Amino acid sequence: MEQTIGFIGAGAMGGALIAGLVKSGLVSPEKIFAYDICLERLENLKKDYGIRVVANAQSLVEKAGIVILAVKPQNLPEAVQGLNFKPSHLIISIAAGISLKQLMSWLGEELAIIRAVPNTPALVGEGITVLAANPVVTPEQRERALTIFGSVGRALMLPEEQLNAVTGLSGSGPAYAYLMIEALADGGVRCGLPRDVAVQLAAQTLLGAARMVLLTGEHPAVLKDRVTSPGGTTIAGLEVLERRAVRGALMEAVKAGAERARALSEEQA
Ligand SMILES: NC(=O)C1=CN([C@@H]2O[C@H](COP(=O)(O)OP(=O)(O)OC[C@H]3O[C@@H](n4cnc5c(N)ncnc54)[C@H](OP(=O)(O)O)[C@@H]3O)[C@@H](O)[C@H]2O)C=CC1
Ligand SMILES: O=C(O)[C@@H]1CCC=N1
């Protein structure tokens, strides 16, 4: 890919995208630029991935054709203040909750802006990113953004109204999956398994189950039923999960994340 990509903010998510992009081979490291107020983070990314780092955000804007805004929503207005973007730029914000309308009012109504919700498994090429574009973005720019995020996992476009829900589900979701892996592994340890074996079993079980859903296209309930032998072990475990309302808890977690995304937007209004 000929285009240069710059990151303003290179923390957990920006860093995961940089690592995933370099590993994907879609963009060569010398075409990736990063700026962050944390110099140590920049130096580590330069050392680990061979990307270029710059001393300030305006210098990054001058070097990169695509600029990814990857600071916390609370830091975004300050991070973009005074930056001079050109009409040729494609700006992609990953800040949770921050709307295209807010971005256009801070950056310029005439600029091509995309709002994206990625997730950290992008680091290993297994992310999923949902994007929404403002009317200035051309079909070619949409394709370019889909290609970039598609190189580190799956990528799709959805109407912007759905992006807070996406944030609550796939944006925050890896944390819920890690919590489940940790808890399942604790269960294994409680039953006498060594910790490292228990973590491996828990992680591969979630990975395998997720692949089954994606590759077979079967409803998760059908796949669940195939694990559940009459009078067997699984139904005994499922009964506990249902009694403890795990389904309701997961639904409420997604809803709480979506509501928090909406609140983050209002806090920056
Ligand atoms: N983490 C995730 O899984 C996901 C995050 N997001 C979004 O991505 C964005 C980044 O999140 P995350 O990576 O977790 O956050 P981090 O805090 O890990 O990364 C943000 C980085 O930006 C730096 N920073 C703060 N202010 C500025 C500034 N003015 N100019 C340049 N850099 C600055 C921070 O430095 P310092 O730490 O010193 O403040 C930090 O290094 C957020 O908007 C979040 O909503 C979206 C989807 C998933
Ligand atoms: O926790 C957060 O606010 C960010 C957005 C989605 C995942 N992490």
CATH of the domain at 206: 1.10.3730.10
Q: Is residue 26 located within the same domain as residue 125?
A: yes
The DSSP H or E segment spanning 247 is helix 246-267
Q: Which ligand is nearest to the CA of 37?
A: 1
Q: Which ligand is nearest to the CA of 40?
A: 1
Q: Is residue 184 located within the same domain as residue 119?
A: no
Q: Is residue 182 located within the same domain as residue 153?
A: no
Q: Is residue 149 located within the same domain as residue 16?
A: yes
Q: Is residue 135 located within the same domain as residue 245?
A: no
Q: Report the distance separating Cα 183 and Cα 179, nearest Å.
A: 6
pTM of the model: 0.97
Q: Is residue 179 located within the same domain as residue 235?
A: yes
Ligand 2 atom closest to the CA of 167, numbered from 1: 6
Residue 116 lies in a domain: yes
Would the CB of 211 count as within 6 Å of ligand 1? no
Other CB atoms within a 10 A radius of the CB of residue 82 amount to 7
Work out how many domains the chain is built from and give that number. 2
Residue 163 lies in a domain: no
Q: Is residue 145 located within the same domain as residue 257?
A: no
Binding-site residue numbers for NADP(+) are: 8-13, 70-73
Q: Report the distance separating Cα 145 and Cα 50, nearest Å.
A: 22
CATH number, position 150 = 3.40.50.720
Ligand 2 atom closest to the CA of 13, numbered from 1: 8
SS3 23: helix
**Rounded mean pLDDT, 116-133:** 98
> How far is ligand 1, taken at its centre, from the CA of residue 81, in Å?
16
Q: What angle do CA 95, 87, 96 make, to 5 degrees?
A: 5
The DSSP H or E segment spanning 267 is helix 246-267
Residue nearest atom 19 in ligand 1 by C-alpha distance: 11
Residue 136 lies in a domain: yes
DSSP characters over 168-229: IIIITHHHHHHHHHHHHHHHHHHTT--HHHHHHHHHHHHHHHHHHHHHH---HHHHHHHH--
Q: Report the distance separating Cα 125 and Cα 154, nearest Å.
A: 9
**What are the backbone dihedrals phi and psi of residue 132, each rounded to the nearest 5 degrees, phi first?**
-140, 140
Cβ neighbours of residue 54 closer than 8 Å, sequence gap 6 or more: 6, 33, 34, 35, 60, 63
Which residues have C-beta atoms less than 6 Å from ligand 2?
A: 96, 167, 171-172
> How far is ligand 2, taken at its centre, from the CA of residue 237, in Å?
31
DSSP characters over 46-109: HHHH--EE-SSHHHHHHH-SEEEE-S-GGGHHHHHTT----TT-EEEE--TT--HHHHHHHH-T
Asked if pLDDT for residue 3 goes beyond 70, the answer is yes
SS3 128: strand
Asked if pLDDT for residue 9 goes beyond 70, the answer is yes
Residue nearest atom 1 in ligand 2 by C-alpha distance: 172
Ligand 2 atom closest to the CA of 96, numbered from 1: 5
pLDDT in tens, 136-184: 999 999 999 999 999 999 999 999 999 999 999 999 999 999 999 999 9
pLDDT in tens, 26-71: 999 999 999 999 999 999 999 999 999 999 999 999 999 999 999 9
Q: Is residue 130 located within the same domain as residue 17?
A: yes
| Residues of the domain holding 149 | 5-158
Q: Has the ipTM of the complex gone over 0.90?
A: yes
Residue 2 confidence (pLDDT): 72
> How far is ligand 1, taken at its centre, from the CA of residue 67, in Å?
14
Q: Which two tokens stand for residue 73?
A: 């929503």
